[in-house]
Amino acid sequence: MEKPCVLATTFGAPGAIYQCFAPVIEKHFTVIPHEEFVNNKHHFAHKISAVFVWGGALKVDRNLLQILPNLKVVVNGGVGVDHLDIPLINSFGIKVCNTPHVVDNATADIGMALMLATARNLIYGHNYSASHETEEWDLPESSMGTDVSGATLGIIGMGRIGYKVAKRASSFEMKILYHNRNRRKEEDEKAVGAVYCEKMDELLQKSDFVMVVVNLSPDTQKLIGWRELSMMKPLGTLINISRGPVVDQEALVHALQSGVIRAAALDVTYPEPLPRSHPLLTLPNVIVLPHMGSHTVGTSQLMVERMVTNALAALSGDQPTDEVKA
């Protein structure tokens, strides 16, 4: 039986699915690399029934949708689909799927890693060890970190990932506050020792570390701005593992430069990557990662497998587990 065709960026190309995961897809699909498609659209267009999007390398726009008459599903690797125009895609009768749940643990892990790294000045410590030229350690007073164990963590967005962060933080004997659109069940709160803050302002004022774990939506654009940063403790740290536009980066730069907060640790920015001249890349009290929240071998494998499962369901006429609707 002939395999269905999927359009995807060439395996191993910048921003594409890594070559090591190719067999997972090729077991079920004939892969048409986007580069080959661009050079011979008329030959491939009618064959393509699915599109795999990994990062932002492949753009699904009106022009593409109009020339793929047999396209049934667009599958995104990862949870966030803010780079996809879902109403537009749905208007062509095409389903959209993502890969939630499988990224939860890895993303919660990166949140904890960022908190620990910035609290204990790990990047500074590594650079010091690599560059010092004296025979003895002579760490300056400014190199001292802040304690994580026993500190207060404020989690903004207590969904699946936020709750997994809370579970991890409870093992560090942290006091946990959270703000969410909906309060979690009492048993969920008790399991991790979390206290609900109806007003985000209260969380900001009381937390030593503030971790942002919300979805990007019109309501969360620049959710954290100058007003919110000004409410944080002077020794407070902001950690963003959600989406870049959730934080007003100009306000964040000002807050970091003026000492309004101690530090920031970001897995996400806007744009991605930041321009080389952006001040967030030069400030000593910031850690910026290249959106590595789900960037592990195991999680990436699960994401690719989930993409295949969703695509096969859509093509067979079944309801995909992870369909995202406008």
Q: 114 and 206 in one domain?
A: yes
133: confidence class by pLDDT, cuts 50, 70, 90? confident
From the candidates 291, 305, 306, 323, give the one annotated as an active-site residue. Answer: 291
What's the number of domains the chain is made of?
Answer: 2
Question: For residue 302, is pLDDT > 90?
Answer: yes
118-128 mean pLDDT: 95
Q: 158 and 96 in one domain?
A: no
From the candidates 179, 243, 262, 306, give the one annotated as an active-site residue. Answer: 243
For residue 321, give both structure tokens. 């587990």
| Residue 89 belongs to domain spanning | 5-101+296-324
Task: Identify whether 120 is a catalytic site residue.
Answer: no
Reported as a single tens digit per residue, the pLDDT across 32-46 is 999 999 999 999 999
Question: For residue 172, is pLDDT > 80?
Answer: yes
Q: 188 and 62 in one domain?
A: no
Q: 320 and 207 in one domain?
A: no
Q: What's the CATH code of the domain at 239?
A: 3.40.50.720
Q: 183 and 242 in one domain?
A: yes
For residue 73, give both structure tokens. 């599903």
Higher pLDDT, 80 or 118: 118
Percent of the chain residues past pLDDT 90, beyond the cut: 93
Q: 200 and 131 in one domain?
A: yes
57: confidence class by pLDDT, cuts 50, 70, 90? confident
Start-to-end CA span in the chain (Å): 34
The pLDDT of residue 68: 98
Reported as a single tens digit per residue, the pLDDT across 225-264 is 999 999 999 999 999 999 999 999 999 999 999 999 999 9
Q: 72 and 11 in one domain?
A: yes
Task: Identify whether 272 is a catalytic site residue.
Answer: yes
Q: 89 and 32 in one domain?
A: yes
From the candidates 35, 173, 250, 272, give the one annotated as an active-site residue. Answer: 272
Which runs of E-coded beta strand occur in 94-201? 95-97, 152-156, 175-179, 194-196
> What is this structure's pTM?
0.92
Q: 65 and 94 in one domain?
A: yes
Task: Identify whether 135 is a catalytic site residue.
Answer: no
Q: 61 and 72 in one domain?
A: yes
Helix (H, G, I), strand (E, B) or coil at 314: helix
